Structure 1
Amino acid sequence: MTQKLNRHGISVCAARNSALAALAADLPSPILADLTGMHRDTAIRWVAYARRDWAAYLAARADDQREAPATGDHR
């Protein structure tokens, strides 16, 4: 199916990854592996990715905001 869609210029990679991340956030890894047919180690990585702790990212963003010069540009 992916190959057929790609031939018509429709990329499904981003949608596939988003769907897997959503499933991984809601399902335990053994269920995700059985449901999708992926290897259990791959399912474990997806679940870890989906439930990742964002504290380090938020701290880095806060550091960036403190270090950025005040230009009036709000991102």
Structure 2
Amino acid sequence: MKLRRHGIAPLASRNSARLALATDLPASVLADFTGTSISNSTRWTGYAKRDWLDYIASRVDP
């Protein structure tokens, strides 16, 4: 309530922050970091349109 009285929209700010994190983190890390489910984090990384296949491939190859 206090934030809204000062013109700050907490939901919009939280969603913007989560979207920014989703562009830089894989879904599994985002889920751990934000305390949300992996399905929720996967949805956010989908919104960010980030492809992590290169990252996964680099972790598998020695």
TM (norm. structure 2) is 0.67
Higher relative contact order (Cα pairs below 8 Å, separated by 6+ residues): 2
Moved over 2 A (4+): 3-6
* Bigger Cα Rg: 1
Structure 2, unpaired ranges of 5+: 51-62
Residue type of the alignment partner of 1:20: R
Cα distance in 2 for partners of 1:34, 1:47 equals 14
Aligned twin of 1:67: none
In the alignment, residue 46 of structure 1 is paired with which amino acid? W
SS in 2 for 1:38: coil
- 1:4: Cα distance to partner? 4.1
The structural deviation recorded for 1:16 is 1.0
Match of 2:53 in 1: none
Tell me, which stretches of 5 or more residues in structure 1 are unaligned? 53-75
Percent of pairs with identical residues:
49
What is the CA distance between 1:14 and its match in structure 2? 1.3
Residue equivalent to 1:14: 12
Residue-pair matches, total: 49
Instruction: Note the aligned Cα RMSD (angstroms).
Output: 1.6
1: CA distance between counterparts of 2:9 and 2:23?
Answer: 23
